[in-house]
């Protein structure tokens, strides 16, 4: 990703369906987002767990949860591949060539939702590693078309995995293992929401080009990295510049000036080595709003983010 460009995290407040999928892409293109994300209209964990359970090996659905029943193997043709093709064609119809971002859910997060014996599978390092390999295959397949330019791993459980006793090194190796088959030429990123302070011990050692955290809703995350460490690492920081959660059943749409102020602050601090996105996915808006209103809110937030980034690009070009 070029510095100061925009993308999204992936989830949208629409029910699953082909028309809704296309609409979520159009929404991003019409708002002017530089790297539109492959829309996720279902839960970001369910998508991959179900795919492994139904088309791969090792997982079984039992009632409301997934249970490990053997060695994890990825689906031979992951459903994300067809989605990527649909997204590429939809973008082409709108005159957009390439620039697609895909995202997969990380091994720590996926294994935390699977039961093995009486425990959570996240407690077993070898199971976590097998999820890393499976997700590694899935993301590599998703990147098989040249229009896919960016691949992110979403790993909200990183903090919990460290807190529960995993060493930094294990977590780093595991995440790198999940990303190792991403083809050269595709940029890699990680998204971790929540408090990012202290996570630099892991994130700065990952084979990624972009590290994204929420900042609009968690302003302290702007201090999670020292400028020199970030610049030395050669990575870019992805800054969440608009919130995605309703506050007191109210959804606030940030003004362009407010977003620009945050962007300037981040860009100055990290010497322009920043890109922008919302704090997280937008699915949560449905808790506070009916679908059409939620979609309108997403459009307004994204287009204000894009307008602010355009102003920032001008300012930095001077």
Rounded to whole angstroms, how far apart are CA atoms 63 and 139? 27
Q: How far is the CB of 9 from Zn ion (least distance, A)?
A: 6
User: Which pair of structure tokens corresponds to residue 291?
Assistant: 């679908």
If the CB atoms of residues 217 and 272 are measured against Zn ion, the closer one turns out to be 217
57-62 vs 100-105, strand pairing mode? unpaired
State how far the Cα of 146 lies from the Cα of 132, in Å rounded to an integer: 23
Task: Supply the minimum distance, in Å, between the C-beta of residue 11 and Zn ion.
Answer: 9
Give me the residues that bind Zn ion (CB under 5 A), please: 193, 280
Residue with Cβ nearer Zn ion (280 or 294)? 280
Residue placing its CB nearer to Zn ion in the complex, 99 or 283: 283
Q: Which is nearer to Zn ion, 127 or 262 (CB)?
A: 262
- In the complex, least distance from residue 192 CB atom to Zn ion, rounded to whole angstroms: 7
Report the residue number, 28 or 130, with the smaller CB distance to Zn ion. Answer: 28
Sequential DSSP letters for 72-105: EE--SS-HHHHHHHHHHHHHHHTT--S-EEEEEE
Rounded least distance, CB 271 to Zn ion, Å: 26
Nearer to Zn ion, 56 or 240 (CB): 240
Q: How far is the CB of 163 from Zn ion (least distance, A)?
A: 17
Residue 171 to residue 165: CA distance in whole angstroms:
10
Interatomic CA distance for residues 84 and 69, integer angstroms? 29
Sign of the C-alpha dihedral computed for residues 262, 29, 149 and 202 taken in this order:
positive
Half-sphere exposure of 294 (CA within 13 A, CB side): 21
Which pair of tokens denotes residue 133? 């390999």
Label the pairing between strands 65-73 and 187-191. Answer: unpaired
Instruction: Please report how close the Cβ of residue 158 comes to Zn ion at its closest, in angstroms.
Output: 11
Minimal distance, residue 145 CB to Zn ion, in Å: 25
Residue indicated by tokens 């030395």: 232
User: CB 118: neighbour CB atoms within 10 A?
Assistant: 5
CB of residue 122 to Zn ion, shortest distance in Å: 18
State how far the Cα of 214 lies from the Cα of 165, in Å rounded to an integer: 24
Which residue number, 194 or 272, has a Cβ lying nearer to Zn ion? 194
Other residues' Cβ atoms within 10 Å of the Cβ of residue 102: 26
Query: Structure tokens of 96?
Result: 């957009």
Residue 183 or 219: the one with the smaller Cβ distance to Zn ion is 219
């Amino acid at each position: 990703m070029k510095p100061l460009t925009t993308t999204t995290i992936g989830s949208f407040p629409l029910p699953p369906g082909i028309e809704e999928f296309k609409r979520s892409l159009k929404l991003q293109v019409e708002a002017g987002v530089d790297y539109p994300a492959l829309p996720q209209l279902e839960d970001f964990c369910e998508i991959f767990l179900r795919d492994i359970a139904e088309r791969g090996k090792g997982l079984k659905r039992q009632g409301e949860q997934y249970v490990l029943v053997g060695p994890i193997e990825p689906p031979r043709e992951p459903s994300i591949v067809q989605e990527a093709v649909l997204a590429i064609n939809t973008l082409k119809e709108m005159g957009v060539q390439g620039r697609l971002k895909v995202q997969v859910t990380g091994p720590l997060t996926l294994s935390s939702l699977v039961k093995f014996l009486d425990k959570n599978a996240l407690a077993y390092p070898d199971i976590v590693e097998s999820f890393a390999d499976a997700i590694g295959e899935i993301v590599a397949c998703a990147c098989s078309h040249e229009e896919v330019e960016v691949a992110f791993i979403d790993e909200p459980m990183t903090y919990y995995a460290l807190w529960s006793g995993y060493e930094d090194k294990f977590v780093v190796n595991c995440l790198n293992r999940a990303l190792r088959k991403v083809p050269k030429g595709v940029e890699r990123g990680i998204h971790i929401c929540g408090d990012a302070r202290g996570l630099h011990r892991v994130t700065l050692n990952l084979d990624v080009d972009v590290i994204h955290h929420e900042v609009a809703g968690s302003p302290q995350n702007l201090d999670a990295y020292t400028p020199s460490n970030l610049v030395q690492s050669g990575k870019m920081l992805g800054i969440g510049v608009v919130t995605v959660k309703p506050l007191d059943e109210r959804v606030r749409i940030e003004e362009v000036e407010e977003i620009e102020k945050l962007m300037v602050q981040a860009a100055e601090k990290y010497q322009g080595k920043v890109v922008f996105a919302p704090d997280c996915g937008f699915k949560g808006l449905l808790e506070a709003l009916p679908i059409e209103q939620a979609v309108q809110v997403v459009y307004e937030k994204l287009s204000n983010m894009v307008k602010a980034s355009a102003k920032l690009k001008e300012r930095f070009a001077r």
